Every structure is written in C-alpha cells, then in structure tokens.
C-alpha cells in the first residue's frame, strides 16, 4: 500500500487513529524525545536523544508485586502491561532496525512476556532520512539504509510539501486504512521524486565502519589486544553509550520494598549497563571484566562479534548516539576500525 | 500470552543444616514446592531462588535428579540475598524458578571411572553427579572424590563424605595444617598430583574457586587427561537465567543457557573472561 499525505493533513491522520495512543518526537527539557501527541506534529526532528526502545522495554517496569506475612506464603500479583495500542511517528530507519534486534533477544530461546505484550501492542511509523540526521551517522556501513524499512510498520518519506507513505506490515496497512481519504493515490511524479530522493539519501556522505563483514573474525582474533585498554583509557564508566543505544538490552532485576509488616514490595526490572564494574562482579569480589578495557571490549564485541555469531547480524545499527553523547569522545566507529585494521 | 518466565513458584523450606560456621558460613537448605509438583532437573543445572523483599540469586541444585521430594541447595553467606536466606527458618516460604542451563552428560559416562575434584563451596554443584553415580553404582567403575577446604571447619558435607567411603575413594584436604587433621595438608590441586588419578577410561569433574579450577585442569592435563575428559561448571553473576539480561556471557555464550557445564575442550575455545 503506497499513498500520499499532504503535510498539513498529518495531524488529521493521527486524530482519526482513535484506537491508538500516538507518540511523536517533541522537544522536552531541551532534547528530542517521543512524547504523547498534543497539538501539531511536525516531523522535522534530527533524531531523538533516546531511541524508541523504551516503548517495548521501559527503563523501569514492575514484574509483580508481593505481600508476605512473615512465615507465610506471599501473595504474588503479576503486572503484565495493559492499555491502548500505541503508535510512534517519526521513527528513523536505524531505530527500526534496532527494534528487529531487540525482538531477536526477547523472543529468542523463550519469550519475555513483558516485552512481547508491549511489542505486540506497538506500531512504528518511520521517517526516511533524506540527509544524515547527525554527523555521526554510519548506518550504510553496517548494512542499513537511511531509507530502509526493517522493523517499521510504515515508512514515510518527506517529498517537500507531501509525504510518501508506504505500508511495510499488515499493522501498517491497518493504520493507513483508518486514514481513508486523507491518504491519496501517488502520482507518477511522486514516485519519481521518491526514487530520486532515496537515491540521493543513500549517496550522502556518512561515517563508515570499514570492514563490518570481517569484524566478527577480526575481533575474535583481537581479544587479547592491548588496544582495548588504550582505547578505553578515558572511559569514566557513565554508561550513556548503552542507555542511548537502540539495541542494548541488558537489565537488572531487584526487589523494591514499600512496607515492612506485612512485607510489601515489587520485583522490578531496570535497564542495566555493561560499562558498570558491578555489572559482572561476583559476590566474592571476583570480576570477569575488571577493567574499562574489558568492558569496552564487551560492548564492541557484543555489537560486532557475539551478536553476529548468535543471530547472523550485527547488533549496531549505526545511529551514532553513543559517539555523539560520550562525554570523553570514545567513538565506536574509530574503535572498530582501529582494532580490525590492527588485526590485519 | 506466553508463560511468565519471571514469576517464581513458591516453595517451603523443610530442612536446614549448618555445614560450615563462621564468616563464610555455608548452610544446606531443602525446599519443597507448595503446589505439590515441581520442575524436573538434571545434574549441574541451577535454579533462581527468591527471598521476597531481598531479591533473587542463582544457585546450583545440589540434590540428585533422582530425589523427587525436595531440591537441595548449599549456600555460602556472602551477599544480600544469601545472607537473607541464611536468616530463614524451617517453614519459611521462598520463591524458586528454573531449572536453568545445561547439564553434565552423566549417562554418557556409564562404564567409566569418575574422578571428582571440589574445593570450598564448589562441592555443591558437583554433588548431584556424585550422588547420582553412587545411587547407580553398578553403572560406573571407580569413583574418586577429592575435596578440600581452607581448614577442617570449612569442610562441607562431612558426614555425607564419610558415608561415601566404601563405595568411593575419598581424599580430603585442608589448606593449612591443624591439630587433629590426619588427611592431606595442602591445596586441592596438589592433593590431586599426590594421588595421581589415572586418566585411563576416566572423566574428571571439577568445581571450586577459579584459581583452584585453573590449577586442577593444569595438573589433570599433566597426568594425561585429554581436554575432552575434563569437565567443569562455571559461575557468573546472573539476573534472568534466560540469556537476556546480558551479564553472564563468556564470548557469545550466555552461561545461564549454554553453560554452566563445559568440557575443557569446549571452554578452551571461549575467550578467557570468566
């Protein structure tokens, strides 16, 4: 299904999606974030500070609550997500590909009911990047595309005064069907403009991982390289790289207590971070990843070696957030290139 | 709706025994599910235990799969959840989910000599293999058990080990000599070299502190054990048990799913990060 939407009718489309809670990028506290739609939506954002991964994998969520009188069996109450279906507009193609990778993690081996429930309730309307949205974009070199539709339900392309709107999934078709007459049939000129813009988009200069295909083998051979400690030397372990990553899925599970007699509380999942020393530290004090170098190696090798070995795809989608927001300038493109070049 | 993999079953503590006193105390707990049924497990698998309000911890199941009425865990008091567990009493209710991970291929070892080498609390993860082999004594040839602690007080499963004598060769050791100790004095790997177990038609299974495992494997190799004849079980910090929370990996393998049991031949191919 391929349609045309006049830009000033975008709000009307969102308005008729009454079965859905709609979200779109908006500036909040000086940063771009996916916010519930309130008022006019203008999809002129660069990229959001945080990827949309939090829709299906929120930073904090309650698994279940417990209430226990000492010595007795506790009462456990599951807190599976509920609510209206949700749709996010303006998702960039790199983040669409991020969703594909999150799906692999949370649906592989055994399904994660919290992720699955939220994910099944979620639709992503993407926006193609006619130009790189950041100077650190490198999606092309990791197998992505600024106009790609992986993981999206709809892909919109900005043609100037109008959007070209293409359904990717059945969910996407359903969203477009609701729009009715708001969406028009594309003219030959629209299709030509789309083709030209997409061709221009993939020809835009980007940064590049030079040998993403060779990375798994080369990183494997570089496990003991002294470069890891050297490249990680400035790391302060803040973890911003993984919190802003569209594919980082690591989490912690803890109990939060709100009452003593009877004991009341919740078992809670929160995002966690491989750049923190205690992420892997045993209770004994032994730590398999005791240094910043070991932790940088874990992040990079997870993205470009381990994930590939397990799933046949790189875990990095080239959004560049971890580069743009690292306070000490650690640059995953530089790190991968340097280590793989050194491996020969 | 898929089953909720994070929701524990409830189980009652029916038995507690103090194995080792002091700062690094070890207690053995038996738990029985409240709902009557429970999961089946295999030798070497783990379970996630909950003390509600304190959290979860991954612990090796120390009882044999042949024991159906309860699951046994021997736990050292070291962290937040293990300390809370130590403070529980018989009759208290905890959470349990699992089993997690792979297992020792015990059935493949029929007709072979089995040599177990444990140190400290590392006897617990291999205890289900030992007790399973002893319960099916005719299926295996010689059974040898090496086990050591820091001092005589640190020896766990004392009476159980004594009961093994007669069906198995038991070689105990302590790191430092003390009055009244007449078995071997020295580290576990040294005791192994002292007794020189034969690699002939043998399988060696070892678990203990990482440094002990390292030297045990070195010594077994020196004695002629091939990499495929040596097994160990890894431990790593774990939260989910399902290969999702991201912290227990060694290279591409999440230990909670692909491990914890590895032959040395397999482990050698993983990055040295455990």
Q: For chain B, list the domains and their CATH numbers.
A: 9-100 (2.40.30.10), 106-233 (3.40.50.80)
The pLDDT tens digits of the residues spanning B73-85 come to: 999 999 999 999 9
Based on its alpha-carbon atoms, the radius of gyration of chain A, rounded to whole angstroms, reads 22
Q: B5 and A112: CB-CB below 8 Å? A: yes
Q: A250 and B236: CB-CB below 8 Å? A: no
What gap in Å lies between CA A340 and CA A43, rounded to an integer?
Answer: 38
Confidence of residue B257 (pLDDT cuts 50, 70, 90): very high
Spell out the residues 6+ positions from residue A316 whose beta carbon is closer than 8 angstroms to its own: A142, A209, A247, A303, A304, A332
Confidence of residue A86 (pLDDT cuts 50, 70, 90): very high
**Chain B nearest CA to A71, separation (Å):** 5
What gap in Å lies between CA B81 and CA B97, rounded to an integer?
Answer: 15
pLDDT at A158 over 90: yes
Asked if residue A149 and residue A58 are part of one domain, the reply reads yes
**Chain B nearest CA to A19, separation (Å):** 21
- Predicted local confidence at residue B37, as pLDDT: 66
Tell which of A177, A203, A229 closes a domain.
A203
Asked if residue A228 and residue A194 are part of one domain, the reply reads no
What gap in Å lies between CA A264 and CA A66, rounded to an integer?
Answer: 6
- Predicted local confidence at residue B1, as pLDDT: 44
Q: Is A325 exposed, middle or buried (0-12, 13-18, 19+ CB in 10 A)?
A: middle
What gap in Å lies between CA A120 and CA A84, rounded to an integer?
Answer: 11
- Predicted local confidence at residue B64, as pLDDT: 97
Look at residue A102 and tell me if it is in a domain.
Answer: yes
Look at residue A208 and tell me if it is in a domain.
Answer: no
Asked if residue A183 and residue A298 are part of one domain, the reply reads no
What gap in Å lies between CA A103 and CA A90, rounded to an integer?
Answer: 20
Residue B11: closest C-alpha in chain A: A73
Tell which of A178, A203, A228 closes a domain.
A203
- The 8-class DSSP code of residue B168 comes to B
Q: Determine the longest span between alpha carbons in chain A, in angstroms.
A: 74
Say whether the peptide bond before residue A262 is cis (omega within 30 degrees of 0).
yes
**Chain B nearest CA to A40, separation (Å):** 36
- The 8-class DSSP code of residue B152 comes to G
CB atoms within 10 A of CB B214: 14
The pLDDT tens digits of the residues spanning B144-161 come to: 999 999 999 999 999 999
What gap in Å lies between CA B72 and CA B61, rounded to an integer?
Answer: 6
pTM summary value: 0.95
Whether B251 and chain A come into contact, CB under 8 Å, resolves to yes
- Predicted local confidence at residue A330, as pLDDT: 98
Which residues span the domain enclosing A262? 215-342
Q: A306 and B271: CB-CB below 8 Å? A: no
Look at residue A170 and tell me if it is in a domain.
Answer: yes
Asked if residue A40 and residue A70 are part of one domain, the reply reads yes
**A224-230, long-range: CB < 8 A, 24+ apart:** A225/A339, A225/A342, A225/A343, A227/A338, A227/A339, A227/A342, A228/A293, A228/A294, A228/A296, A228/A297, A228/A339, A229/A291, A229/A292, A229/A293, A230/A293
Look at residue A68 and tell me if it is in a domain.
Answer: yes
Using CB atoms, pick whichever of A74, A105, A279 lies closest to residue B247: A279
Spell out the residues 6+ positions from residue A44 whose beta carbon is closer than 8 angstroms to its own: none
Residues of B in contact with A76 (CB under 8 A): 7-8, 10, 95
- The 8-class DSSP code of residue B22 comes to S
Q: Are B49 and B41 in contact (CB under 8 A)?
A: no
Average pLDDT over residues A71-100: 95
- Mutual angle of helices A332-342 and A292-301, in 10-degree steps: 90
- Predicted local confidence at residue B228, as pLDDT: 98
Residues 181-240 of B with CB under 8 A from A: 210, 235-237, 239-240
Please give the mean pLDDT across all residues of chain A: 96
Question: Dihedral, CA atoms, A254, A258, A264, A266, nearest 10 degrees?
Answer: -30
Look at residue A301 and tell me if it is in a domain.
Answer: yes
Q: Are A78 and A114 in contact (CB under 8 A)?
A: no
- Mutual angle of helices B210-222 and B188-195, in 10-degree steps: 20
SS3 of B193, please? Answer: helix
Asked if residue A109 and residue A71 are part of one domain, the reply reads yes
Look at residue A108 and tell me if it is in a domain.
Answer: yes
Asked if residue A289 and residue A175 are part of one domain, the reply reads no
Tell which of A141, A172, A203 closes a domain.
A203
Asked if residue A238 and residue A131 are part of one domain, the reply reads no
pLDDT at B19 over 70: yes
- Predicted local confidence at residue B248, as pLDDT: 96
What gap in Å lies between CA A76 and CA B10, rounded to an integer?
Answer: 10
- Predicted local confidence at residue A344, as pLDDT: 66
The pLDDT tens digits of the residues spanning A123-147 come to: 999 999 999 999 999 999 999 999 9
Please give the mean pLDDT across all residues of chain B: 95
Q: Report yes or no for ipTM above 0.90.
A: yes
Whether B121 and chain A come into contact, CB under 8 Å, resolves to no
Look at residue A94 and tell me if it is in a domain.
Answer: yes
Percent of chain B with pLDDT over 70: 99
- Predicted local confidence at residue B3, as pLDDT: 78
Asked if residue A186 and residue A248 are part of one domain, the reply reads no
Beta bridge partner(s), residue B104: none
Q: B93 and A73: CB-CB below 8 Å? A: yes
Asked if residue A236 and residue A152 are part of one domain, the reply reads no
How many domains is chain A built from?
2
Confidence of residue A109 (pLDDT cuts 50, 70, 90): low
Measured in degrees and rounded to the nearest 5, phi and psi for residue A140 equal -60, -35
pLDDT at B2 over 60: no
Residue B77: closest C-alpha in chain A: A283
- Predicted local confidence at residue B210, as pLDDT: 86
CA distances from B156 to A166, B46, B120, B153 (A): 67, 19, 8, 8
Using CB atoms, pick whichever of A80, A105, A263 lies closest to residue B53: A263
Asked if residue A219 and residue A174 are part of one domain, the reply reads no
Whether B102 and chain A come into contact, CB under 8 Å, resolves to no
- Cβ-Cβ contacts under 8 Å between A and B: the total is 130
Asked if residue A66 and residue A134 are part of one domain, the reply reads yes
Residues of A in contact with B235 (CB under 8 A): 282
Residue A281: closest C-alpha in chain B: B237
Asked if residue A161 and residue A28 are part of one domain, the reply reads yes
Residues of A in contact with B242 (CB under 8 A): 109-110, 112
Average pLDDT over residues B216-232: 98
Spell out the residues 6+ positions from residue A192 whose beta carbon is closer than 8 angstroms to its own: none
Look at residue A251 and tell me if it is in a domain.
Answer: yes
Confidence of residue B39 (pLDDT cuts 50, 70, 90): confident
Residue A248: closest C-alpha in chain B: B246
Encode chain A in three state secondary structure: CEEEEEHHHHHHHHHHCCCEEEEEEEEECCEEEEEECCCCCCCCCCCCCCCHHHHCCCCEEEEEEEEECCCCCCEEEECCCCCCEEEEEEECHHHHHHHHHHHHHHHCCCCCHHHHHHHHCEEEEEECCCCCCCCCCCHHHHCCCCCCCCCCCEEEEECCCEEEEEECCHHHHHHHHHHHHHCECCCHHHHHHHHHHHHHHHHCCCCCCCCCCCHHHHHHHCCCCCHHHHHHCCCCCCCHHHHCCCCCCCEEEEEEEEECCCEEEEEEEEECCCCCHHHCCCCCCCCCCCCHHHHHHHHHHHHHHHHHHHHCCCCCCCCCHHHHCCCCCCCHHHHHHHHHHHCC
What gap in Å lies between CA A15 and CA A18, rounded to an integer?
Answer: 7
- Predicted local confidence at residue A107, as pLDDT: 80
pLDDT at A110 over 90: no
């Amino acid at each position: 299904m391929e349609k045309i939407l006049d830009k000033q009718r975008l709000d009307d489309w969102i308005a008729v999606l009454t079965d859905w809670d709609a979200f779109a990028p908006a500036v909040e506290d000086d940063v771009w974030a996916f916010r519930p739609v309130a008022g006019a939506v203008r999809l002129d954002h660069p990229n959001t500070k945080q990827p949309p991964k939090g829709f299906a994998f929120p930073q904090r969520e309650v698994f279940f609550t417990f209430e226990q009188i000492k010595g007795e069996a506790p009462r456990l109450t599951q807190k599976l997500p509920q609510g209206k279906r949700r749709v996010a507009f303006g998702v960039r193609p790199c983040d669409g590909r991020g969703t594909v990778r999150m799906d692999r993690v949370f649906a592989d081996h055994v399904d994660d009911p919290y992720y699955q429930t939220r994910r099944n309730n979620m639709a992503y309307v993407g926006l193609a990047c006619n130009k790189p949205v950041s100077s650190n974009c490198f999606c092309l070199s990791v197998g992505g595309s600024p106009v790609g539709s992986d993981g999206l339900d709809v892909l919109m392309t900005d043609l100037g005064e109008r959007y070209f709107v293409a359904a990717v999934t059945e969910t996407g078709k359903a969203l477009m069907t609701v729009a009715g007459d708001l969406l028009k049939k594309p003219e030959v000129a629209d299709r030509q403009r789309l083709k030209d813009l997409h061709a221009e988009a993939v020809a835009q200069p980007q940064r590049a991982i030079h040998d993403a295909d060779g990375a798994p083998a080369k990183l494997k051979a570089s496990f003991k390289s002294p470069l890891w400690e050297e490249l990680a030397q400035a790391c302060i372990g803040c973890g911003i790289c993984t919190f802003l990553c569209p594919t980082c899925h690591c989490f912690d599970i803890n109990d939060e207590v709100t009452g003593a007699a009877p004991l009341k509380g919740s078992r809670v999942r929160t995002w966690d971070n491989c750049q923190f020393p205690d992420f892997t530290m045993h209770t004994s004090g032994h730590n398999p990843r005791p240094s910043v170098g070991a932790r940088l190696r874990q992040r990079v090798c997870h993205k470009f070696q381990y994930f590939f070995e397990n799933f046949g795809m790189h875990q990095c989608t080239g959004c560049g957030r971890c580069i743009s927001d690292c306070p000490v300038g650690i640059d995953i493109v530089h790190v991968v290139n340097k280590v793989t070049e050194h491996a020969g | 709706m898929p089953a909720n993999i994070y929701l524990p079953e409830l189980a009652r503590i029916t038995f507690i025994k103090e194995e080792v006193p002091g700062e690094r105390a070890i207690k053995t707990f038996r738990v029985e599910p409240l709902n009557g049924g429970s999961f089946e497990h295999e030798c070497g698998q783990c379970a996630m235990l909950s003390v509600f309000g304190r959290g979860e911890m991954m612990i090796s199941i120390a009882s044999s799969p042949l024991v159906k009425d309860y699951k046994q865990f021997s736990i050292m008091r070291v962290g937040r959840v293990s300390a809370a567990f130590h403070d529980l009493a018989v009759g208290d209710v905890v959470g349990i989910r699992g089993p997690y991970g792979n297992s020792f291929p015990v059935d493949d070892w029929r007709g072979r000599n089995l040599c177990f080498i444990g140190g400290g609390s590392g006897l617990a993860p291999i205890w289900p293999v030992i007790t399973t082999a002893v319960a099916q004594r005719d299926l295996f040839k010689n059974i040898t058990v090496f086990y050591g602690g820091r001092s005589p007080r640190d020896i766990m499963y004392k009476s159980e080990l004594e009961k093994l004598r007669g069906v198995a060769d038991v070689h105990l050791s302590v790191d430092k000599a003390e009055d009244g100790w007449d078995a071997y004095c020295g580290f576990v790997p040294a005791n192994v070299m002292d007794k020189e177990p034969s690699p002939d038609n043998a399988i060696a299974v070892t678990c203990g502190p990482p440094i002990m495992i390292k030297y045990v494997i070195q010594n077994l190799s020196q004695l002629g054990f091939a990499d495929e004849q040596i097994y160990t079980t890894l431990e790593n910090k774990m939260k989910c048990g399902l290969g999702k929370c991201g912290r227990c990996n060694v290279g591409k393998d999440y230990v909670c799913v692909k491990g914890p049991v590895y032959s040395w031949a397999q482990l050698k191919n993983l990055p040295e990060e455990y």
